[in-house]
Amino acid sequence: MTVDALEQQFRRLIRNAEHVVPEDDLLERLREGRPLRVKLGLDPTAHDVTLGWAVPLRKLRQFQDEGHTAVLIVGDFTARIGDPSGRSITRPRLSPEVVRANAEACVTMLLDILREDHLEVRYNSEWLEPLDLEDILGLTSHFTVAQMLERNDFAARFKEQRPISLIEFLYPLCQAYDSVAVKADVELGGNDQLFNLLVGRDLQQAHGQRPQIALTMPLLEGLDGVQKMSQSLGNYVSIRDRPTEMFGKLMSVPDGLIGRYAALATDLDNEGVAELEEASRIGGPRAGRAKRAMARAVVGLYHGTDAAGEAEAAFDRQFKEHQAPEEMAEATLPAGAVDGSSVYLPGVLSDLGLASSRGEARRLIAQGGVRVDGETVVDEQVQVERLRGSVVQVGKRRFVRLI
């Protein structure tokens, strides 16, 4: 490979990265011309791939495309122990079978992004399970409490006098040991993983290995624009969301995030990203158009450009022309709800999951948030004929067709 080509590969690989520690070592290893072992850890309790999680995954895919080996570490052992992080109640321990099944489902989903060649999937129980206490004490001896407290969230919790379980100190060690076990050249992760990745370097060195390069990707903010995208917060887009849903969710993102999404969740080049970012700063209709372009690019990435175009058209039908969407959930009128010729609508709404309770449904109706075939419902009792075959809408985006 020419020096130039190498340099370009290097630029591609570090593009958008938040930290590359140390950068020059990555270039050096690329020069060796061998496939690098690029590790990425996977928590098998997650069951959906969000756009946020896709950021490091897509980076891993880039490495694959350059001929390097993706080493996917399934944290089956650690999942079995349960992470007591923060104040959250200790997760129930999962049985090995359940973890395994989850993990396999996860890996399958990851193949939406990763390629099947240049891929190595490893379960960390393979090397963590056989460790005995002596081995574990040996691992801990390489680190000090002060080192552990360097980690931001530990430092913060310590300062605020919130509990830190000892087991939490062991997690970075387990993860670091994974790096030793698979002889990683590079480990990828979200930026919140930086500390753990650096622990991996130290531990590899302690085991006489060349320390891995830690490459972290920015954490993508969720739809709310504030917190990081996560399944538990419900502010996420799944890469398996239907095109229309994906497009719609992306259109609800705050303006300030357009550039960020464009950079991290699309395959637009730097100029394209800069253009959208600029437009989003200007605001007004230009920002709206920039957001559309971003949404189209994301949907296009996972569903193809045709689907993206259709999603945008469907979006306009629904929100500019206020037509019901073409595809929506269908449901039958719950039999119990019918009383003679009229129906108690709050009961129907809560049975269909459009409202969390009958009281909630009644409130929605009272506030004018419920429509049948586009017409705002005023009364709680509704004629059966009016409902049969109708489209029931709650709020702006929840639709169900009754059949």
Partner RNA sequence: GGCGGGAUACCCUAGCGGCCAAAGGGAGCGGCCUGUAAAGUCGCCGGCUAAUGCCUACGGAGGUUCAAAUCCUUCUCCCGCCA
Please report, as ranges, the residues that interact with RNA according to CB under 7 A.
Answer: 87, 161-163, 224-225, 247-249, 251-255, 283-285, 287-288, 291, 315, 318-320, 339, 344, 346-347, 350, 356-360, 362-364, 367-369, 394-398
Question: Are 90 and 82 contacting, i.e. CB atoms less than 8 angstroms apart?
Answer: yes
Nearer to RNA, 79 or 364 (CB): 364
Smallest separation (angstroms) from RNA to the CB of 397 = 5
> What is the C-alpha separation between 209 and 179, in angstroms, rounded?
10
Q: Is the CB of 47 or the CB of 397 nearer to RNA?
A: 397
User: At closest approach, how far in Å is the CB of 291 from RNA?
Assistant: 5
Q: How far is the CB of 234 from RNA (least distance, A)?
A: 8
Q: What are phi and psi of 272, to 5 degrees?
A: -60, -45
Q: CB-based contacts of 39: which residues, under 8 Å, 6+ apart?
A: 71, 72, 73, 178, 179, 182, 184, 186, 187, 188, 212
Amino acid identity for residue 267 in this structure: D
Q: Which CB, 28 or 373, lies closer to RNA? A: 373
Between 208 and 285, whose beta carbon lies closer to RNA? Answer: 285
Strand intervals (E) in 191-336: 213-217, 329-331
Residue 302 one-letter amino acid: Y
Provide, rounded to whole angstroms, the least separation between the CB of residue 292 and RNA.
9
Long-range contacts of 266-275 (CB under 8 A, 24+ apart): 266/294, 266/297, 266/298, 266/301, 267/297, 267/301, 268/297, 270/15
Q: Toward RNA, which CB reaches closer, 40 or 293? A: 293
What is the smallest separation between the CB atom of 209 and RNA, expressed in angstroms? 36
Nearest to 14 by CA among 218, 237, 197: 218
Structure tokens at 51: 């756009």
In angstroms, give the least distance from the CB of 285 to RNA.
6
Indicate the residue among 37 and 303 with the shorter CB distance to RNA: 303
Q: How far is the CB of 395 from RNA (least distance, A)?
A: 2
Q: N- to C-terminal Cα distance for the chain?
A: 63
Toward RNA, which CB reaches closer, 138 or 368? 368
From CA 305, how far away is CA 313, in angstroms rounded? 12
Q: How far apart are CA 130 and CA 132, in angstroms?
A: 6
Nearer to RNA by C-beta: 110 or 258?
A: 258
- Minimum distance of RNA from residue 128's CB (angstroms): 25
Alpha-carbon span 336 to 118, nearest angstrom: 56
Residue 246 corresponds to which tokens in the numbers above?
């994906």
Chain centroid, CA 171 distance in Å: 21
- To the nearest whole angstrom, how small is the minimum distance from the Cβ of residue 283 to RNA? 4
- Which CB, 197 or 299, lies closer to RNA? 299
